[in-house]
Amino acid sequence: MTMTVDDFHRLLIAPEIIVLDVADATLLALQRALVLEHPLVESPPSNDDPLVRRRARDVLRSAARLLRALRAYRAVVDNILREAVFVDEPF
């Protein structure tokens, strides 16, 4: 995919958006992998759950919280970027 001038300006103002995209994709992949590896992780907890399933639930909760926080941050950054005026200036 080719980077546009606007994309380049966005990265100059907020270079962290690249890392936010990577973190978001990574956390989604982690969630999917844990659910595939431990299908019962989404069922109600039980006293008989093995330790690994309990820890997988902990990781899923933490990943969900982090995803929400990252997306809230990204929304603020996106609002700032929308307000920024990009003027095409020759380099």
Q: pLDDT by residue for the chain (91 residues), tens digit each?
A: 788 888 888 888 889 999 999 999 999 999 999 999 999 999 999 999 999 999 999 999 999 999 999 999 999 999 988 887 655 555 5
pTM of the model: 0.80
Which pLDDT score, from 0 to 100, does residue 4 have?
Answer: 87
Residues 37, 53 contacting (CB under 8 angstroms): no
Which pLDDT score, from 0 to 100, does residue 87 have?
Answer: 52
Determine the 3-state secondary structure of 30 from DSSP: helix
